[in-house]
Structure 1
Amino acid sequence: MGRYTDDAKQLLQHIGGKENIATVTHCATRMRFVLKDVKKADEKKIQDLKLVKGTFTQAGQFQVIIGNEVSMFYNDFVELAGVDESSKEDAKVAARQNMTWLQRVLAHLAEIFSPLIPAIVVGGLILGFRNIIGDIKLLEDGTKTIVETSQFWAGVHSFLWLIGEAIFHFLPVGITWSITKKMGTTQILGIVLGITLVSPQLLNAYAVSGGAEAPFWDFGFVKIDMIGYQAQVIPAILAGFTLAFLERSIRKVVPSAISMIVVPFLALVPTVLIAHIVLGPLGWKVGSAISHVVYSGLTSSFGWLFALVFGFFYAPLVITGLHHMTNAIDLQLMSELGGTNLWPMIALSNIAQGSAVLAIIYLNRKNEEEKQISIPAAISCYLGVTEPAMFGINLKYAYPFLAAMIGSGIAGIISVGSGVMANSIGVGGLPGILSIQPKHMGMFAVAMLVAIVIPFILTIIFNKKKLLVKNS
């Protein structure tokens, strides 16, 4: 008998039994079920289990938050239930049967960017560190930067750009690879396609938009501009899906005996041609339009309202899974503007959720059982992982969630109103300040303080006034 057998037995019963499970897998903190009938799952009884920190449904999957013990719990559950272990891809495919077309589109988008996020976060931290040592005059009475006074740090500053450039300028390579991986097509072709979008022989699209004359391929009857799409998101997405579509379509009609020779050629060459004639220019215009609309909204006279709405509703957006679309917008803003003023609000929302949990810890400081759940949840939230806090604590009690939303909205107004920009997507909690451009770190620190204090105070007030209080 395993350590978690008793808990697994209760969860199996409340989930609707073995016969209600289509697939089951797990991630870092959660059990992920695709249920044949979600209505058979008794959420109230599941949430009452001591080991369970919360439940929610996202992307067609019924998810049960267990915590760091999830892998051991999963092993005991699978053995007890007698169900086959499922891969995450199997679970995703099964889950899509329960999703709307919009949810499917967003799920695909999330799956494209998820493998890229670690690199993007590293890139953001590197750019932030380079700005601190290279742009802020910290030494000699505020007249010189660290780089200007030390050859060692000057070398570090120059060396780190090698990594930053690899991550952001050549981002299309990662995107096209990720699409081919997700679509089950040939990944090396995706990598080659990405390289053809950022090759050094191509003139950067930003230079072209600045008035530079692009070289061209001359085919006699037609000329094609040799323009690159470094750091561009939309052109890479369009080209990646075109390659995947062509490869899968061609593979269906080409005999297997010659498929290794014919399929890659007939899929890659036309895609590269289409990418430079149609998809690249189209994607550039679409991406520029998106970034212009978002940036204009955030910097207009009504920017405070945009910030309030986004900051207030970002946490509910996470529950629906729609928050994944912000990754593409952030990356587009970074490529167009050299930074993003959207991502700082996401970091502030995470901080606000953690601060609401901090208030719950204070209110239940004599409840040892409650602290076993809330303290790890608050720590993980401040470090950018919000699920244990949101689903295990804040949504359970309701009023902390509202308090966090209000604090996030107000902090968002301060961030946007003061023009805070991040170098890139970063760690979405307290460490997020390392991704903020140095000249904005002071105001972002003020916004962080607001995101900490207001949710904490409001949570205590709501508790005392019994506003939205439940299950307490």
Structure 2
Amino acid sequence: MSHDYSQIARELLHSLGGAANLEQAAHCVTRLRLALKDPSLVDSNTLNQIDLVKGSFFTGGLYQVVIGPGEVEKVYAALREQTGLAAATIADVKQQGADKANAMQRLVRVFSDVFMPILPALIIAGLLMGVNNLLGAKGMFIDGKTLLDAYPQLDGVWSLINLMANTSFVFLPALVGWSAAKRFGGSEILGIVLGLMLVHPDLLNAWNYGKAVAGLEGQSLPYFNILGLFQIEKVGYQGQILPILMAAYVMSVIEKWLRARVPNAIQLLVVPITTIVITGVLALAIIGPVTRHLGILITEGVVLLFDVAPVLGGMIFGLLYAPLVITGMHHMFLAVDLQLIANHGGTFIWPMIVMSNLAQGS
């Protein structure tokens, strides 16, 4: 069936408040992403009746019109032809719409911008862990045995895959530090250094923090004694999200402030070392301890809900997840997921997301 894309574009412009109301336009695989001067001028009821339009909504400072794969490119081309707008990327349009977003939308966008670039590393880790689980699952292929029991020569393969699978999570703060520094306008390499510093082997491994606090197995919290004036916990932040996220933000603010004031001739010597020293002290003395406990409270709260009332928790999550995807707010769950994995060795949110997607597909 052929469509008159020029007519569809004209109807879209009319429903959007006219060509003068359109600042920028881009498209993804299925949607038009539009930056509008005044979103209140949109006649959404009329717009949703236009041929090929599957729906529309306003989120993240942008008006999005769902068209569908393939067709969206032709509608976009007709829209540009009639308005004379220059081609724009999704990033360009997002930047244009950022000022129109409310505080919550801006917060969600930060989470999205930080975590989306590191998703490939997390996906790789998850898939490799799945392979390892198959090799070590008792009774999966052989009654009463794992593949490792039946074929001991696979142990080396299992160990190698396990190493590859764990790498992304062992050095997760470095990944987040890189991505967050890039998002906040700081130096990406300093973000990596800051993240690696928080998991340095000289620090008490975060997995043993609980034992040290409780005094189990003869462990106790080690400290940096700073000139006899105060002490800083000598504790790492393996698998932690909030500490490096906040530290990278503070680092970026400090670095940009210094770059604007330090002469160019000595910037390379002064800015990096000053930024890392100040941020490192703040991260270990204040940001890390505060955000560690905040992260623990958030994850324990989520776990408590599903422990006390799992049916209620599942119903609430199932009810809210699809609308959150539409608005983009589902990206905030990434931080909770990773914190759950760090604290409890796994997350029950991802399986529910899979079931939600399967239910929608059905």
Q: TM-score, normalised by structure 2?
A: 0.88
Residues 104-155 of structure 1: CA deviation (Å, up to 9, x unaligned): 2222122211212232222222212211221232344x22111222356433
SS of the counterpart of 1:340? coil
CA deviation map 1:241-290 (0-9, x unaligned): 11111112222222334333322222122111211112112221111111
What does residue 337 of structure 1 align with? 344
Give the whole-Å Cα distance in 2 for the aligned partners of 1:326 and 1:109: 9
> Aligned pair in 2 of structure 1 residues 157, 5: CA closer, same or farther (>3 Å)?
farther
Q: Does 1:86 align with 2:94?
A: no
Q: Which runs of 5+ in 1 are unaligned?
A: 356-472
Return the match for 2:129 from 121, 127, 130: 127
Matched with 2:241 is: 233
Q: TM-score, normalization: structure 1?
A: 0.69
2:169 aligns with 168
Task: Give the one of 298, 309, 312 matched to 2:316.
Answer: 309
**How many pairs were matched up?**
352
In the TM superposition, what is the alpha-carbon distance from 1:49 to its structure 2 partner?
3.6
Q: Counterparts of 1:292 and 1:191 in 2: how far apart (Å)?
A: 28
**Alignment match, 2:53:** 52
Give the secondary-structure state (helix, strand or coil) at the position aligned to 1:130.
Answer: helix
State the match for 2:117 in structure 1: 115
- 1:171-190 superposed matches below 5 A: 171-190=172-191
Note the 1:384-463 alignment, pairs <5 A.
Answer: none
Instruction: Give the letter for the 2:166 counterpart.
Output: E
Partner Cα separation in structure 1 for residue 224 and residue 278 of structure 2? 15
**Matches of 2:254 and 2:210 in 1, distance apart?**
31
Query: Partner residue of 1:68?
Result: 69
**C-alpha deviation, 1:42, in angstroms:** 3.2
The residue aligned with 2:300 is 292
Task: Output the CA distance in 2 between the equivalents of 1:136 and 1:236.
Answer: 38
Cα distance between partner residues in 1 of 2:203 and 2:270: 27
How do residues 120-159 of structure 1 correspond to structure 2 at under 5 angstroms? 120-140=122-142, 142-151=143-152, 153-159=154-160
Label 1:254 to 1:76 Cα distance change in 2 as closer, same or farther (>3 A): farther
Q: Which moved more, 1:186-195 or 1:7-16?
A: 7-16
- 1:323 lines up with 2:330 in the alignment: yes
Q: 2:357 aligns with which of 327, 336, 350?
A: 350
Question: Is 1:109–1:324's contact at 8 Å kept on the other side of the alignment?
Answer: yes
Residues 72 and 289 (structure 1 numbering): CA distance in 2 closer, same or farther, change over 3 Å? same
How far 1:13 moved relative to its partner? Answer: 3.9
Identical-residue share of aligned pairs (%): 36
- Give yes or no for contact 1:25–1:31 (8 Å, CA) kept in 2: yes
Q: CA deviation digits over 1:198-225, x for unaligned, max 9?
A: 1233221221321233555454425544
Instruction: Answer 1 or 2: higher relative contact order, Cα 8 Å, separation at least 6.
Output: 1
| Structure 1 letter corresponding to 2:102 | T
- Contact 2:138/2:144 (8 A) holds in 1: no
